[in-house]
Amino acid sequence: MKKIMTSALLVALAFLPKVTLAATSVTVDESAAKAFVGFAFFIFLFMFAFILAVYIFQSVCLSRIAKKTNTENPWLAWIPIANVYLMVKISQKPDWWFLLFFVPLVNIVIGVIIWMEISKRLNKPDWIGILIIVPVANFAMMGYLAFSSDDTSLQNVTQSSEPQV
């Protein structure tokens, strides 16, 4: 706890030229404070760029999925919260399912069901929708659904393994 308070004090006093804190006997050098602020700003910019890239990727994927399924208003993929409504429309579920995304824990189950239905609409195996809860695989799943062709090798394998009469 003392280290956290000392760190908070260092950040608070970062803009003062040279300060000696009597209680902790910590000296803050102006160049060290500027370096810390610069590093924190760099981390902030990096995180902002990463979050923006993820948002753009998800919006592009959802917009392409909406176009593939001939869903109205694919531009809703770019608007926060409206993109959730677009997912409900793509999966052809009732509009009130949109509200279930705001209920904790229920939203996880509804999200899986919605993505399973989206997978079915794109003629892909429905188990792919379960990947939405796997942290890195969810991006791959969205990209796969958005950028793959209508025929899948998985469906071709299951169809060819069935006995022909």
C-alpha–C-alpha distance, residues 143 and 65, integer Å? 9
Instruction: Report the pLDDT value the prediction gives residue 12, as an integer from 0 to 100.
Output: 55
39, part of any domain? no
70, part of any domain? yes
Check residue 73 and report its DSSP letter. -
Looking up tokens 């923006």, which residue turns up?
Answer: 52
Please compute the mean of the pLDDT values over residues 43-65 and round it to a whole number.
Answer: 96
93-100 CB contacts, 8 Å cutoff, 24+ apart: 93/117
94, part of any domain? yes
135, part of any domain? yes
Task: Report CA dihedral (82, 85, 90, 95) to the nearest 10 degrees.
Answer: -150
Q: How confident is the model at residue 30 (pLDDT cuts 50, 70, 90)?
A: confident
In 3-state terms, what secondary structure has residue 19?
strand
Instruction: Report the pLDDT value the prediction gives residue 153, as an integer from 0 to 100.
Output: 44
Q: How confident is the model at residue 147 (pLDDT cuts 50, 70, 90)?
A: very high
pLDDT at 44 over 80: yes
43, part of any domain? no
66, part of any domain? yes
Q: How confident is the model at residue 24 (pLDDT cuts 50, 70, 90)?
A: low
**Selection from 91, 64, 92 nearest residue 78 by Cα:** 64
**CA distances (Å), 142 to each of 14, 17, 30, in order?**
44, 51, 47
67, part of any domain? yes
**What domain range includes position 129?**
53-151
115-129: per-residue pLDDT in tens? 999 999 999 998 999
61, part of any domain? yes
pLDDT at 26 over 80: no
87-123: per-residue pLDDT in tens? 999 999 999 999 999 999 999 999 999 999 999 999 9
Domains contained in the chain, number? 1
